[in-house]
Amino acid sequence: MPKIVELRQDRSLICNNFHGYKLSLDAIPVLRQELTVTPSKAEPNEEQYSFLHAELFSMQNLLQVDPWSRKQSYFVNNLSEIVRASYDGNNGRPEDVKIVFRGAVTKHALHEAGHRQKGDYNYTLRFISEKYCVVCDGIQSLMLFDTGDRLKAMEWKLIAECYIKGDFKSNEDRNFTICDCRLDIIQERKQISLALGHVQHVDLPSSHEVYGCTYYMYVHWAKWEQVEQEWAFKILDTLESKGSFYYCSFEPRAEFLIVCGNREIVWRSQKVTHVDQNCSDEKTQLHGDTCNGDMKDFTWSQTDDDVTVKFNINPNKDKTDYNVKYTTKTITVKCNDEILLDQELYEKIDQDLSIWTIENNFLQISLIKQTIGIGWPYLLTGEKGPKEDINGSVNNSVPMEQRPIANLEAPLEECDFPLSSVEDEIIISRFHLSTHSTTHNILLGSTPPLFTTSLRPGYPLALVTRQDVDACLWLLQYHPSKPDEWSLRHEGNLHAFGYIQASKQQKKFIDCSPDLSYVLICESHRHVFLYKSKHDNANGLRNRNGPQVTIGKQHLITLEDDGEVLGLSTADGVATILTTKGLLYLQIS
């Protein structure tokens, strides 16, 4: 059973006297650099119409920053050349665009896959060390490059390549993208761990619940290992989901994979076993009828404080015929000698405060949670029992408009409510390859992460979530000697940005600088919003009856006829934007 982990904010990082952003009319210098060859941008075909495909093709950042040298970024152009874009901080000017690898990407990629077609995925680049980079061509070719000293813009050398084999019966079956990539030295051998994403249409039975579509997101957990100067590639297992993947990152040594999604994520190797055992594991009887694997003879709902379980009562029975017993982790319900329910609960309860009663033709059991504020994804361990009654949860919980807000003087607005449906439950899960299990879960409710960013080279990406009006950056806490202990550490705070970004409906890319001095919101065309929270203290502005307040700066940057924004990278003092017509360098400081 996965352990539930709670996100705990560091109060020292929160600015209690921050009073928002003030629009600044100061100009932000924008340096433009023309490109002789336009960037490569893949387009979906007529069969790739799902929301997962829209995310994959439209929201992918095509400008890959070098984590070891943040002022250098790379992309692939329409000639399949790898291009380097660099900004010289000493001179305050961009360096000339340099092609670090020519043409061979196309030649090698098409050797096995045939000619490139409409619907093939975009190229993806991932830097795994100061001298290695992995490139996927968007089809089924993986290439490992020796980049040399990237500060000197040396030409890259291809040192290994492999092909993801399979029976490619259609165009979409042969396409892959790199979700994450990591280099580790295991027993004096170089090992590259890859998470390869792939969207595929699956024909499901008409009775199967498909959430409005029959498309799956597959993440293949693969290993590319050097053995006696040769590189061997192998797919170890696959994670499947019907929903979006907001975050995917390996822990050091790649024994665990951290994934955030809005639908249940399962192991392919255990999917069939789980279905076969679902009915055989349940032996509970409800009022003389054998319960099926879903246990739909009772319902349950929850609030932040308690869990309510309801049974339909037999009209010929009264309260004396029923017996309910519970401990901190188990529940037993009997009607005379018949066992209605005898299972282990998903989380611990306070047995002294829990009660049960019979009213309105229902046996109602109210279980008080020991950990208040944490939602239960399931009532029972092992993902058993019926799904949560969402309507019951809504009726039992405090309405959204009646919940307290941070600023009582400001009314709730439309952007305070999540855009996702009520059915979405965003969960961060920690998957263990050796045991094919989920060890830890973090429940985020219905609000997905805002964005991900690289704060330190070689570390997993930081995850940014909305906490009240702020945006909090979280880094994985890795304990090599204690793999069972896992959490996310509050690394930084973007003041009031959770509220700010919620009001931007046309945002395409969001990123912040490594020192958190600024954050950018890029629309697909025309507008870029810049926010500097570390501005000043409002030049001595004070509330007459209160302390000195802090106000940040907001800048609106209007792009000229630069075309669609394809990528964004950030560094201290400068941000680089890739468009269909060129490169833009924003001189922020």
State residue 275 phi and psi, 5-degree precision.
Answer: -70, -40
Specify the range with the lowest mean pLDDT, choosing from 31-45, 154-168, 275-289.
Answer: 275-289
**Both tokens assigned to 139:** 């089809």
Q: In the prediction, which pLDDT does 542 show?
A: 55
* Span 414-437, average pLDDT: 75
8 falls in which pLDDT band (50, 70, 90)?
Answer: very high
Give me the amino acid identity at 1. Answer: M
> CB burial class (10 A; 0-12, 13-18, 19+) of residue 323?
middle
278-402: CATH topology is: Immunoglobulin-like (2.60.40)
Answer with the residue of higher pLDDT: 402 or 324.
Answer: 324
- Percent pLDDT > 90 in the chain is 49
Specify the range with the lowest mean pLDDT, choosing from 294-308, 329-343, 396-410.
Answer: 396-410
Cβ(530)–Cβ(588) below 8 Å: yes
Give me the amino acid identity at 477. Answer: Q
* Span 99-118, average pLDDT: 67
**Both tokens assigned to 64:** 């890959």
Q: In the prediction, which pLDDT does 315 show?
A: 75
Q: Give the start-end residues of each E strand in 446-497.
A: 451-453, 462-467, 470-477, 487-494
DSSP 8-state secondary structure symbol assigned to residue 265? -
- Rounded to the nearest 5 percent, the helix, strand and coil shares of the chain are 10, 45, 40
* Span 409-434, average pLDDT: 70
Q: In the prediction, which pLDDT does 107 show?
A: 53
Cβ(247)–Cβ(461) below 8 Å: yes
Q: Spell out the domain ranges in the chain.
A: 1-34+456-589, 278-402
Q: Is 362 helix (H, G, I), strand (E, B) or coil?
A: strand
Greatest alpha-carbon pair distance for the chain in Å reads 88
* CA neighbours closer than 13 Å in the CB half-sphere of residue 97: 22
Which pLDDT tens digit goes with each residue over 261-274?
999 999 988 765 54
**Both tokens assigned to 377:** 């994804």
Q: In the prediction, which pLDDT does 166 show?
A: 52
Beta strand pairing call for 550-558 and 18-23: parallel
Q: In the prediction, which pLDDT does 464 show?
A: 96
Q: In the prediction, which pLDDT does 554 show?
A: 94
Q: Does the structure show a pLDDT above 80 at 141?
A: yes
Average pLDDT for the chain: 83
Which pLDDT tens digit goes with each residue over 176-234?
999 999 999 888 889 999 999 999 888 765 545 444 447 889 999 999 998 888 889 99
Cβ(565)–Cβ(586) below 8 Å: no
Residue 27's nearest CA partner among 573, 520, 558 is 558
Q: In the prediction, which pLDDT does 371 show?
A: 85
DSSP 8-state secondary structure symbol assigned to residue 380? B
Dump the DSSP string for 495-511: TTHHHHHHT-TTEEEEE
545 falls in which pLDDT band (50, 70, 90)?
Answer: low
Residue 40's nearest CA partner among 99, 123, 104 is 123
> CB burial class (10 A; 0-12, 13-18, 19+) of residue 314?
middle
Distances (CA, A) of 500 to 137, 349, 468: 36, 38, 11
Answer with the residue of higher pLDDT: 416 or 122.
Answer: 122
**Both tokens assigned to 574:** 């400068």
Which pLDDT tens digit goes with each residue over 473-483?
999 988 888 88
Q: In the prediction, which pLDDT does 555 show?
A: 95
- H/E stretch holding 127: strand 124-127
* Span 153-173, average pLDDT: 75
* Span 359-378, average pLDDT: 85
Answer with the residue of higher pLDDT: 144 or 321.
Answer: 144
